[in-house]
Structure formats: structure tokens, C-alpha cells
Amino acid sequence: MSKPEPPGLISARLAYIKDVFDADVAKGTIPGAVVLIARQGELAYLESFGFRDREKQLPMTTDSIFRIASMTKPLVSVAIMMLAEEGRIRLVNPVSTYLPELKNLQVGVEVLGALGEVQLKLEPARREMTVQDLLRHTAGLTYGQFGDTLVKKAYREANVFDPKQTTAEFIAKLSRLPLQHQPGEVWDYSMATDVLGRVVEVISGMDLEAFIAARIAAPLGMKDTGFCVAKEQAQRVAEPQIDAATGKRPPMPRELTQRPRFLSGGGGMVSTAPDYLRFAQMLLNGGELDGVRIVSRKTVALMTSDQLPPNIAFNADTRPRFEESSPMPEFGQGFGLGFCVRKEPGRNPVPGSVGDFYWSGVYGSYFWVDPQEQLIGVLMLYAPDLRRHYRALMRQLVYQALAD
């Protein structure tokens, strides 16, 4: 008897995935990867390739645990929307409603001094940042590591992303620094979701780890998702391979068996491909999975609609780093409340559908949800320098295998 085809996909064409990833593992381009596809509510493809740890010759498994970096952001964004549904947060409110330290922030503007040197001038914000601004990265905040403006230098000098600080200490530090932009005027990928993590803590009375565990991960059965791993899980943690140019592994933020002091809502979590599928399937289902409702259908619709004003500008430091994977109008993209969204059928060089939404992690992880095709893709791997390549490749390999 012939093996049945996976739902809505062609097995012979899915074989291209194995060919590509096996070849890249053999060339040493990547240590390994986990690829997952779901279609029409069913798991259609789940395969592991290469090594969980190449140097130790440990094979990759489908339940390998990865540092998901910025794929933490959608989880924290959903946490905020849960509190909004309960009437405990309003998206239109200034962030200072919940974090008073962030009231009366000023904006750093670069001007030329008398001798032609660039100086930082502070001017008042024309309005306060709102919770909506944080969710869509229009709050005026930034990341210090992208670019070299005086505000970004101030971020670095203040060690804003210090892993030894608490979230409360992070907010106190941020309150003493100027904004990069006027709130609401520029899309700049930023530490906004780290601020949202602190909002969750203040409003809920729980630390971010406990809230996500109790309200999202446990109800959805995401047993390997959190801010650290238990000792019995440690043997499943995937590691990057040694960089041939340096002879060392790329630096990772911390030892995952130790609970971090700084619960980074912007990038501190770990997960597996099957776990992240459950989160993505909940979103595709309109906020519910296996009888458990996390958020309402209308909340998911709000989060996955373009939230950017028509006159929004884009940070010049960010634009060349993201291109077709970010909310650039020339690629038909926008940004919702925690996700990038596709607004138009053309312009984008990678396949997809109007209304699909997605995000990624700096180490190489990636996911997207395509409601039109009832399709979910999840990629887990470590390839920081090639992450854009693998995002586009993953989409190409998946869409070419659709049966109908």
C-alpha cells in the first residue's frame, strides 16, 4: 500500500527540503536544523537534519531546544493582549500609565556644534509613547547594537541590555536615556518588547516567566518553552558550531540551565519546533487550540492587521538589515501588534499570501502563519549570518510543495 500524502502537500516535492539541508550540513554551512510544516490543522512535515552539537557528534532531534531570540516577542505581545482583553491595559494609554518612570522622556537630536562636531540636543517628546507604539515598534526606542547614532552610543554606554539587571532596573536605566525618535513617527526595531515584558509584570503581579508559563505555555502544552531549561532537558539543547574563521563557537548569551535575572521579553526564551507550532496553530485558529482559548478571534485579527500609519518613516540603520523580512512598503509589508504582516500580493521576492504574518530570531529561527493556505512553517537552526537566506529558502521550499 502506498504511503498517504501529507495534507495538502506533495511528498516528492517535500524531498527537496532534505536535499537542501543535508547538503548544507555536509558543507559545514550549518550544524543542523529542524523543519516543521503544518497544513489544514495537521502536522504535515517534521524532520531534523545534521547535528544538535556538531563538535560532540550529537544528532539533531525534532525535539531539540533552541534559543529563539526575537521569536520571544510574539509570546509577550500575546501576553499584553490577554491583559487588554481583561480590561487591565488599554493600548491607547501612555506607557507611563503603567510605568511612571517613563513619563516626560526627551528625544535625542543630533546637531552640529560651533566647531562642527556632532552634539546631542534634547528636545521634548511631542506626545508620550503608547502601549500600541511598543507593540508596533513606533515608540521612539531603539536597539543600541544597530548603527552608531549618539543615542545608540548612549544605550551601549549605559549597558541597557545588561543580563545581570532585573526588568525593573532595566526600566529605571531606560528612563534616564533619550529616545531615538519622536513617538509614533518612525518604525525602529527596538527594545520595546522588553518594556512590554515589564508592563506584564507590573499589571499582573507576576514575573514575566511565571505569567507566560501559567497563562500561555502550560495551557497550550508548550512543555519545552521558557526562559531556561531544567537539567533533564539540557541534553536536548542545540548549540552553534565552531566558526572556522575564529576557531570558536559564536558567543551565546548565557547558560540555559540557569534562570536569567533579566527576563528579556524581546529575546530571552527557548523553545522547540513542535512547541512553537502549538503557539502558531492557536493564532491560526483565531486564538484557540484544543478547547483552550488564549485570546479572542478579534484580538488575533487586530494583532495581524497592519498598524503602521501611512506616513511612517523607517530607521535608516534598520532598513538595510531587514528588507523583504520586515515592514518595508516596497516589499508590500506592514507591521501589526507583534508580527510583520503581508499587505499586498506582489512586490515581495519570496512566496506567501496577503494576510500572512511572521517573525524570526537573530540566531536563525523563523516562523510564519498563512491563513489563506491554512499553513504554518517553523524553522529552528543556528545561522546568524545567513538568517535572511534561510528565511527566504524555507518559504520557497514549502510553497513549491503545495498540492492545491
pLDDT value of position 317: 60
- Computed over its alpha carbons, how large is the radius of gyration of the chain? 21
pLDDT value of position 287: 98
pLDDT value of position 222: 98
Task: Catalogue the E-assigned strands of 241-286.
Answer: 269-271
The CA distance from 44 to 8, in Å, is 8
pLDDT value of position 254: 78
Q: Cβ–Cβ contacts within 10 Å for residue 39, how many?
A: 22
93 class by beta-carbon count within 10 Å (0-12 exposed, 13-18 middle, 19+ buried): middle
Give 142-149's long-range contacts (Cβ < 8 A, gap of 24+).
142/180, 142/181, 142/188, 142/189, 142/190, 142/191, 142/315, 143/189, 143/190, 143/191, 146/189, 146/317, 146/318, 146/321, 147/315, 147/316, 147/317, 147/318, 149/108, 149/110, 149/180, 149/317
pLDDT value of position 319: 45
The x, y and z cell numbers of residue 313, run together, are 518613516
> Is a pLDDT exceeding 80 seen at residue 326?
no
Q: At what angle do helices 192-204 and 167-174 cross, to 10 degrees?
A: 120
The CA distance from 347 to 350, in Å, is 9
Chain-centre distance of CA 139, in angstroms? Answer: 17
> Is a pLDDT exceeding 90 seen at residue 327?
no
